[in-house]
Each structure stands twice: as structure tokens, then as C-alpha cells.
Structure 1
Amino acid sequence: MTLRLAVVGTHWITDSFVSAALESGLYTLSAVYSRTPEQGAAFAARYGSPAVFTDLQTMAESDLAEVVYIASPNSLHCEQSCLFMRHGKHVICEKPLASDDVQAAKMIACAKQHRVVLFEAFKTATLPNFRVIRDTLPALGKLRKALLQYCQYSSRYQPYLAGENPNTFNPQFSNGSVMDIGFYPLASAVALWGAPRGVKAQASLLESGVDAHGTVILDYGDFDVTILHSKVSDSVLSSEIQGEEGSLVISKLSTCEGITLHPRQGAVQSPGVAQYDNAMRSEAELFARLVAEQQIDHPALEVSLITARLLTDIRRQTGVRFPSDDAMP
């Protein structure tokens, strides 16, 4: 039996997730939410015209769907996820899970209270090649340093410079570089090594108040991780994990497109495996399995909460503030 899926949002990332979910054979698309009926209908028409909603409360109360994929602006994740979870819906919410760690903790508590699965749509940690990275780490010997990076010139940067106010660079939507693409290397580090002993961060801020780019250093004792992130410059560099017995080079960390092991002694190896063309299919399959097995308190929640705490701390250090911060204790 397939899961009846509803989606909140109709832009490209929603389209990618729906395609991945349907390809898995584990879902049917049963409902679409959009603020405008025309946009919702146009999206639904590509997938057999499921029901279209323009009111979230009505959608939450409907029995058309049992799981919901949320791809709204970051600032709406907490409110919308909790609405659906209170109505017994399982939720896969786009990363970052919430605007701050207080909201993330609230969402996790809501999921446990209502006995539903909450899952952050962080695709990287669900990929087969990410498991290869984890399994290959012992071959590096004692870990010493890692450079994890994601720097990509945003398609919305020129409109921002032209005086527009795109969501990408708007603190009202809890956005910015580290909350967007910087999330990938940060959450990857947490998924591999857990919570660091400490974090240091610096960033260059735009006039809008969000970070354009920045650097984060995670302290794991005698092993440290440097994270580079930017939405105003491109990079052709790979990421690298260094140990006393060799290094592991990762092409395009967010999708783990290639992995190369460079032993200090011996031949270079390529331990990577085949992955789905649509990188979101792995997370869709994992979410379906968690729902089927009713794994409410699954391990990925701890990764999400640690990452949310780090993001909140990083913003405190770099001076990036969101409206939600005013409500924090």
C-alpha cells in the first residue's frame, strides 16, 4: 500500500521531491497546497490532478493525505509542521528544520506527543555514498582535519543587488548562506561525528541582515572541521577528510557525487557506489520506512536538533537575527 502524500509548496524542490517519491513506488500524490489556486492547479495537473487546497487548516483536517512534505519558507516550517502533526499527519520538512533550536525542539516534542514521524529532508545523510564515507573513515586512521565546503553563486543574488527583496536574502524568512547551502556541510559533520566540543564562526553580512558567506570551525578535540559556505561566489573545490593514514576526497558534498580514497601508502581507490539520478529518492524511501515502522524517536532527530543548536549559535556569533529570535528565552 502506498502512502497518500500532500505537499506544501509548488516550486522546483517540491517538483523534485514528488518525482522522487513517485519513482520509489511508495507514494501517491493526493493533495497540493498553494496560496493561489491557479498555481496549485498547474502543479497538480502534472501529477494526475490531485486535490488542491489554498487553506492549510482545511488541508490538515482532510483525510486525503497521511504524510505531508513541507517546502515553504524556513520561517514557516515550525508552525506548519506542528499544525499537520497535531492532526495526525507524518511530516517530512525541508531543511533547515526550523528558524532556531527552540522551534526545532518544539517540533520534535510535538511529533512525540502526537505519535507521528517528523523527518528533516536532509538528503545528503540518506545517500548510499554518504554511508560509504562513514564506512571508509576507519581507513584514514586517527582523524586530524576536515574541509567541508559548499559555495555556489545564487541565482537570486543579482536580483538582490538590483534592489529586489528575494526570500533567499531576507531575514524575515529565516534565510541566508549558512541556513541554506551552509547547512549541508554543517549537518554532514554532525551526522558523521555528532556534537562538537565548540564552534567558532565568522561571516560577511549583506545590508538585508543575512550572511552572504562565512566560515565555521567545529572543535572535536584533536580533530577539527572547517566549513566554507557562500551564496555570492562559486567554488570548484572538493571536500576532504584527513587522517594520519590517508585522506578522503568528496566531490559535491551535498550529493556525494564522487569519493576518492588516498591512502598514505598504497594505491588510490574509488569506493563510491551507484546512486539514484534524483538524489531526493533516498530520503523519500527512508521517510516511508520510518512511517511504516512507526519509528517516532528515530536517530536523525538528534542530528537535526544538534544542527539547529549549532545554526543558532553560529548566527549569534555572526550577528544574523531573525524575527523568531525575539521570542526566544
Structure 2
Amino acid sequence: MIRFGVIGTNWITERFLESVKELEDFTLTAVYSRTEEKAREFANKYNVDTIYTDYEEMAKSEVIDAVYIASPNFLHSEQSIVFMNHGKHVLCEKPLASNVAETKAMFEAAKQNQVTLMEAMRTTLMPNFKIIMDNLHKIGKVRRYFASYCKYSSRYDAYREGTVLNAFNPKLSNGSLMDLGIYCVYPMVVLFGEPKDIKATGVLLETGADGSGSIVAQYDEMDAVIMYSKINDSYLPSEIQGEDGSIVISENISSPDDIEIRYKDGTVEKISQPYAKLEMYYEADEFVRLIKEGKTMSDMNSFENSLITAKIIEAARKQIGVIYPADEK
């Protein structure tokens, strides 16, 4: 049984805890929040006795073996390293860190302390993503990867009325690329590796955060086109286009659940399967397995894949003009 603490008492942590109810080797033993009232309120929902308002004290705790970190992006690296330096395993929400330098520092801490660190990118650990990988050969030589994740944010309504919430605050290392675009970038990296070059454009908001953007990535024999946004919707599917057919992901690429191959002769093969578990179950299951097997990293959400993703995102941000305070440290 792996004893977990959680940092972050928001909706994503609640979704994570709902998803792991069926995970036999998971138990929640501690909750952190900046205020005692919020920590106690959240802990009571899950019948947890131990709370913390100081995460460094939590890291020293003997009641947890691992931590799930879902704090604002700019805190991910600092908090993760503190926990790893105290021998705790870390499952950190995507994006793993603000930039490449922070990402590398996290990997170094994991290696030095011989603990498990994994980016909580659920997409690539869901069963239908493995189905995509297993069926990729059917479409012949891949010539283009196209991924779209454009979803109008409810928080943008507040922004338009003059209130800047966390989602559009670059001081927290936030914006549409870090929040939604990463769901398009990470699968590309897992499937095709590091591109030779990228070109990025985007829409900068008055705060300095990116509201939307596009990335074109160049590989030796293919290219990739990525579109993402938090200020407008899109209803386009994502596709992996090959010479003999295309794999079409009709629903959100973040949680692929409706996938078919459309062959050039007009035939269609549905390859997706219904999920037996909630979407975040699979990342938690992978993480627990890694801990029990004494592994530092996942083969799928590996250090290499997370680092390449961080490089692409940082390069794209620089081209768009998105600068975070973390970049200037």
C-alpha cells in the first residue's frame, strides 16, 4: 500500500482522487493547503486526519510515501524537489515545470534520491493511446500529425470583464500552451520523438499570457501541425495521416476515446475500446507500479519525453513572446 499526500485542493485533485478509488495500492493519508481551514475541509471529505499548511513539513512526514502535486505550474519544480530530497516519490501534474532548466533539476533530484518522478500526462497512459501505437503501422508511412485542442475557458468570461484569474496569469507559468497545447505536444513526442525544428505563432493577451496558438514541427519525412486555444472553440478531430490511411481521433485528444482508421480505399475500422476505469486511474496505476518495482521513471512518460516536450514548449513560448518569471531566475 502506497501512502499518498496531495498538494492542491482544487477540482483536478478531486477528479484524481475519484479516479483512484479502485486502485488497491493507493491510500490517501495527508492533505496540504496554504490555509488550515481549506486543508481541513478537503481532508474531511476523504476521511483524512493529517493536514499541513507547510509543504516542507509535509515532505518530512512519516505518514506519506508519495505525493500528487497539483499546485500552480510555477511551484511544481520547487515543491517536487523538496519532496524528492526527503525520499518521497512524486507524481506531478502537467506541465512538469515552467521551463527546461526546472525540468532538468527535477530529473537530477529524482536520480540523486532514487525516487520515482513522473509527469501526470494521462493521455499517453490511457489504453486507447496504446491502441493507436499498436495500429500505427496500418496507415503506412506517416506524413503528418495534426492535433487540435481548442476549448473556450469559462475563466475567459471573467477575463473579458476585467478579472484576471490564474488561468491567464503568466506569473504562475500559465496560459493556453501550458494548459491545453501540451496535450497535443506530448503525444507527438511519444509517437515521433524530437522534431528537427519548430515554428510557433500565437495570440498574446494583455497580461502576457497566450490565449491561443499554433505550432508547426518539422521531422525528416513528415511534419506536425498543432492548434490550441482557451479563447475559442474548435470541433475539428485530430489525425495521424499516413500514405495508406489516417487514424482519426474524433473527440478530445487529451482523452482519446473515439478512434478509427480511414483507409484510402474508403473502408473504416474502429479501433478504440471503452474505458473500464476513469481517465486518471491509468496514470496513478502506472506511478504506483513504478514505485513498487523500484523504478525512477516511466517508459512512456519518460524523462526524455518530458524533457523534449519542455524544450518544444519553451521554444514555442519564446517565439510567441510569452515570458515567465521562472525564466529569469
Report TM bin, short chain.
over 0.9
- 8 A contact 2:19–2:277 mirrored in 1: no
CA shift at 1:191, angstroms? 1.1
CA distance in structure 2 between the partners assigned to 1:246 and 1:63 by the alignment: 54
TM-score (norm 2): 0.97
Equivalent residue for 2:263?
Answer: 263
CA deviations over 1:223-273 (Å, ceiling 9, x no partner): 111000000011111101111100110021100011011111262111112
What letter is aligned with 1:79?
Answer: E
Match of 1:310 among 293, 309, 312: 312
- 8 A contact 1:29–1:50 mirrored in 2: no
Q: How does 1:20-169 map to 2 (within 5 A)?
A: 20-169=19-168
CA deviations over 1:174-200 (Å, ceiling 9, x no partner): 010101100100111001111111111
CA distance in structure 2 between the partners assigned to 1:138 and 1:232 by the alignment: 36
What letter is aligned with 2:327?
Answer: D
CA shift at 1:297, angstroms? 4.2
TM-score (norm 1): 0.97
CA deviations over 1:22-76 (Å, ceiling 9, x no partner): 3212211000001111111111111113311111111111111001000000000
> 3-state DSSP class of the match of 2:269?
coil
> 3-state DSSP class of the match of 1:10?
coil
Q: What runs of 5+ residues in structure 2 fail to find an aligned partner?
A: none
- 8 A contact 2:145–2:188 mirrored in 1: no
**RMSD (Å), alpha carbons:** 1.0
CA distance in structure 2 between the partners assigned to 1:266 and 1:209 by the alignment: 46
- 8 A contact 2:257–2:273 mirrored in 1: no
Tell me which stretches of 4 or more aligned residues in structure 1 moved more than 4 Å.
none
Equivalent residue for 1:243?
Answer: 242
Equivalent residue for 1:203?
Answer: 202
> 3-state DSSP class of the match of 2:208?
coil
What letter is aligned with 1:142?
Answer: K
Equivalent residue for 2:288?
Answer: 288
* Equivalent residues, number: 326
What letter is aligned with 1:75?
Answer: F
CA distance in structure 1 between the partners assigned to 2:287 and 2:120 by the alignment: 9
> 3-state DSSP class of the match of 1:236?
coil
Q: What runs of 5+ residues in structure 1 fail to find an aligned partner?
A: none
Equivalent residue for 1:231?
Answer: 230
- 8 A contact 1:112–1:297 mirrored in 2: no
Please tell me whether residue 278 in structure 1 is matched to residue 278 in structure 2.
yes
What letter is aligned with 2:258?
Answer: G
